[in-house]
Amino acid sequence: MVSPIYLCGVGFLKAPQRENFLVYIYDSENAKGSKGGFFTHISASAEDYLETILLLSKKTGAVRSIDIVGEMGFSKPSISVAMKKLRENEMIVMNEDGYITLTKKGERTAEQVYGRHSILYDWLVSIGVSEKNAAADACRMEHILSEEVFERIKTTFEKS
State residue 44's pLDDT score: 86
- Cα dihedral 157, 153, 147, 25, rounded to 10, equals 50
Distance, CA of 31 to CA of 104 (rounded, Å):
14
State residue 34's pLDDT score: 40
Number of compact structural domains in the chain: 1
Please choose, from the candidates 120, 158, 101, 86, the residue with its C-alpha nearest in 3D space to the C-alpha of residue 8: 120
Residue 115 belongs to domain spanning: 4-159
Q: Decide: helix, strand or coil at residue 27.
A: strand
Rounded to an integer, what is the distance from CA 54 to the centroid of its chain?
8
State residue 41's pLDDT score: 61
State residue 43's pLDDT score: 85
Work out the angle between the directed axes of helices 131-144 and 44-60 (0-180°, nearest 10): 120
Please tell me the pTM assigned to this model.
0.73
CATH number at residue 77: 1.10.10.10
Per-residue pLDDT of the chain (160 residues; tens, 9 = 90+): 443 334 454 433 333 333 333 344 444 444 444 444 434 567 888 999 999 999 999 999 999 999 999 999 999 999 999 999 999 999 999 999 999 999 999 999 999 999 999 999 999 999 999 999 999 999 899 988 888 999 999 999 898 8
Residues constituting the chain:
160
Work out the angle between the directed axes of helices 104-126 and 44-60 (0-180°, nearest 10): 90
